[in-house]
Structure 1
């Protein structure tokens, strides 16, 4: 018989279910308003967007079968929104933020209850149940459930999309931290022993870099019709979700047509001051030495 959550954890689960209901309801409100208004919209490589494309995008919060949990599905689009629709989308973002904060609190305070919460939430709304049955979707995808919907700060004259395919995240590691990570691997393997010896040959105070190459993503440059209060005339942001630009006449800004697929080779010149050595130092950890 599965272990029952403590009273405190159970109370948080009830709060989470309520927050999830609120999130679903705010999405339904925004999507229904969009479908009634039918504002001007541009959807990446769709000459005539389907009537319910935004509903599918905003309610897509589930892992597909065999999906890598680190991956998210993207919905690249622009919507020319009036004040009423912008307010509805902002309410969705507030609900997403509250839901994410409560999930994070549960993860830290009662990590063992998180899987229980994820199995209960899909049963909270008829639309979700229908989606699960129709598409064979499984678990709640946390990243897709809480990611924000971009809202432009002011009217936009044009949007320039471009693939960004050379991104990477770099985490600094000490020699001791790298050693602990290697020791958690198969230390009987020859390639791990070789890397441990390489690590032992460098100064113990040296700082290393662990590199994670990021998946290609679409970036959008928004050019405002007038400078913002801080003087900026444009803003760059990731375009994983539909971008809502304010326009009470609901007219789209000028939008370029980016390539359907990201480039297969690097398009930006390497920085001359790139600080990492070109060859990986500890392949099993993707760790490099600084020059």
Structure 2
């Protein structure tokens, strides 16, 4: 890709970021003018300032893991105008994510520049955040979608969900490619490559990713949806927008403010992995012999 093409791609991403900010600002203002109800797990003041902070938190905090994102658990009653603005925001997020994926694929060296340059396009945001050490962009927090119910809801039940970990099946060749993408001059990577070379090509492996507790919302709709279902479950890391004609929230429960310290569900019966990781750098395990 030529330098001119890189500049055009970066300009498209800058425009997409501007569009995302503008649509999000418009969403918050439209909701503020609607005088509709809202609720937050973390604060009694679930007002427009809270919603603005939740939806425009695109920034790293000191020491934050780049794979993790911050949660803002809440509910927002939304009239038709607000839901229309929300649709525009989520469309802008998809456009931003698509362009970012293209850049990562074609010119990955641009990503550090993106994180540094985009915040300067909105000086009011940047100047405030720089003062509290949050001037670096967290790209994943930009493009994650804002959840929304599909129709009017009779009641919502919120509960913490602690799945513990996710398990992704890998082939030996998959694991080898992932190791080679790391620093293959390092001694500990070479040791793991030698370990991997001793396995048969057809042996399945498992990559384990610890998962943070998350809030799950169980929605009970007033009328069955087009697909015949009257219930829906979804994870809610951002405020959940609930369609309404009267500005009121449906009946909701009050979940604990913090997740349980231990899992409340039984340990998964399909966890058949060895105790010690085969490839510690990738959190990859062998399956136990049957």
TM-score by length of 1: 0.88
Kept in 1, the 8 Å contact 2:42–2:73? The answer is: no
Which residue number in structure 2 is paired with residue 160 of structure 1? 157
Which residue number in structure 2 is paired with residue 105 of structure 1? 102
- Per-residue displacement from partner, 1:59-101 (whole Å, max 9, x unpaired)? 1101122221111111101111100111111111111111111
SS in 1 for 2:257: coil
Q: Over aligned residues, Cα RMSD in angstroms?
A: 2.5
Kept in 2, the 8 Å contact 1:62–1:137? The answer is: yes
Kept in 1, the 8 Å contact 2:164–2:263? The answer is: no
Please give the alpha-carbon distance, in whole angstroms, between the structure 2 residues aligned to 1:114 and 1:228.
41
Which residue number in structure 2 is paired with residue 268 of structure 1? 265
Kept in 2, the 8 Å contact 1:185–1:192? The answer is: yes
Matched, 1:8 2:5: yes
Query: CA, structure 1 residues 223+12, in 2 after alignment: closer, same or farther (shift >3 Å)?
Result: same
Matched, 1:39 2:27: no
Query: CA, structure 1 residues 228+290, in 2 after alignment: closer, same or farther (shift >3 Å)?
Result: same
Please give the alpha-carbon distance, in whole angstroms, between the structure 1 residues aligned to 2:251 and 2:49.
23
Structure 2's unaligned 5+ residue stretches are none
SS in 2 for 1:245: strand
Q: CA deviation at 1:199?
A: 5.5
In the TM superposition, 1:131-210 aligns within 5 A as 131-178=128-175, 188=187, 203-210=200-207
Query: CA, structure 1 residues 182+20, in 2 after alignment: closer, same or farther (shift >3 Å)?
Result: closer
Which residue number in structure 2 is paired with residue 130 of structure 1? 127
Please give the alpha-carbon distance, in whole angstroms, between the structure 2 residues aligned to 1:240 and 1:226.
26
Query: CA, structure 1 residues 176+6, in 2 after alignment: closer, same or farther (shift >3 Å)?
Result: closer
Query: CA, structure 1 residues 170+229, in 2 after alignment: closer, same or farther (shift >3 Å)?
Result: same
Query: CA, structure 1 residues 6+182, in 2 after alignment: closer, same or farther (shift >3 Å)?
Result: closer
Please give the alpha-carbon distance, in whole angstroms, between the structure 1 residues aligned to 2:265 and 2:26.
42
Kept in 2, the 8 Å contact 1:81–1:245? The answer is: yes
Matched, 1:277 2:280: no
Which residue number in structure 2 is paired with residue 58 of structure 1? 55
In the TM superposition, 1:65-76 aligns within 5 A as 65-76=62-73
Kept in 2, the 8 Å contact 1:40–1:79? The answer is: yes
Q: CA deviation at 1:219?
A: 1.1
SS in 1 for 2:77: strand
Count of residues in correspondence between the two structures: 284
Structure 1's unaligned 5+ residue stretches are none
Query: Please, which moves more after superposition, 33-42 or 130-139?
Result: 130-139
- Per-residue displacement from partner, 1:23-79 (whole Å, max 9, x unpaired)? 111111111112222310011143343441001111110112222111111110111
SS in 2 for 1:160: strand
SS in 2 for 1:52: helix
